[in-house]
């Protein structure tokens, strides 16, 4: 049974995985046996990320291209397949968020978030998907969000993109299951990363809110995503298709509790 979770011989492309949640997912796939490939638009970020993987003992291949640039994606995918091997696992992780009240948000900023967080996975899925269709196998994991299900103040563009990504995930599964491709999503809750470090302190209102709102009563650690990622990338999930697995400590399961309730 455990053999069905092994990823030996697989090439896994994880976009935007030079830090944070993407790096945690890529590291987990590497530990399961996959050859990791990451991309970034910045050579500086890419070099730093590859060095960080090396410190973990992980051999990571890096390529510079923009997931929103169709020509760049086509060239990048071809180069990876030629130099590293056939991409058997695609993780669409690259994304951004802009926190602005909807009434104040510039259209160009809204479009930028949609372009990176939704159009990017479409472009990546299209061109990696074509390769997987030819081979009649493949795993695609789209990194969604709790905002795929819920709204929140000041994140209208991000919520729009992540809601759309949930449905793109379902449509990829609908169209490509017959080719032996499984497409699923992971919806992370609130995680302890460098981006949240400043607010993860005792007494900070948002820190208190998350601890109180999450049934597990803690922030997630990036490593908490490892098991779900490996499962969805492996043969163990060969009949799982079109789902988003929320790794959120139970937030979406409850309406929460009053702040004065133990």
Give the active site residues: 158
In angstroms, the CA 66 to CA 6 distance is 30
Query: Do 166 and 141 meet the contact criterion of CB atoms below 8 Å apart?
Result: no
Residue 5 is encoded by which pair of tokens? 């979770």
HSE (side-chain half, CA atoms, 13 Å) at 10: 28
**Edge-to-edge strands, sheet with 60-64:** 60-64, 35-40, 11-15, 87-92, 138-143, 181-188, 244-247
Cα separation values, 35 from 29, 102, 131, 181, Å? 8, 41, 17, 19
As a whole number of angstroms, the distance between CA 40 and CA 184 comes to: 23
Q: Cα separation of 202 and 239, whole Å?
A: 43
Q: Phi/psi of residue 96, each to 5°?
A: -135, 165
Length of the chain: 262
Give residue for tokens 């409850």.
254
């Amino acid at each position: 049974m455990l053999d069905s979770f092994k990823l030996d011989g697989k090439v896994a492309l994880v976009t935007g995985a030079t830090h944070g949640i993407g790096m945690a997912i890529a590291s987990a796939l590497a530990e399961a046996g996959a050859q990791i490939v990451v991309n970034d638009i910045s050579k500086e970020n890419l070099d730093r990320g590859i060095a960080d993987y090396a410190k973990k003992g992980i051999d990571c291949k890096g390529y510079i291209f923009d997931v929103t640039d169709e020509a760049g994606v086509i060239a990048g995918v071809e180069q990876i397949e030629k130099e590293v091997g056939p991409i058997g696992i695609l993780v669409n992780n690259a994304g951004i968020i802009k926190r602005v009240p909807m009434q104040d948000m510039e259209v160009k900023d809204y479009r930028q978030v949609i372009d990176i967080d939704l159009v990017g996975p479409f472009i990546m899925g299209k061109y990696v998907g074509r390769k997987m269709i030819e081979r009649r196998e493949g795993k695609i994991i789209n990194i969604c969000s709790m905002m795929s299900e819920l709204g929140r103040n000041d994140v209208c563009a991000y919520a729009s993109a992540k809601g759309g990504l949930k449905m793109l995930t379902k449509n990829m599964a609908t169209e490509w299951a017959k080719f032996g491709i499984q497409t699923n999503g992971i919806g992370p809750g609130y995680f302890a990363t460098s981006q949240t470090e400043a607010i993860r302190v005792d007494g900070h209102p948002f820190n208190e809110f998350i601890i109180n709102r999450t049934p597990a009563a803690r922030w997630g650690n990036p490593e908490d995503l490892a098991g779900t990622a490996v499962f969805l990338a492996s043969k163990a999930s060969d009949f799982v298709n079109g789902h988003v697995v929320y790794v959120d400590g139970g937030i979406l399961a409850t309406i929460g509790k009053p702040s004065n309730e133990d």
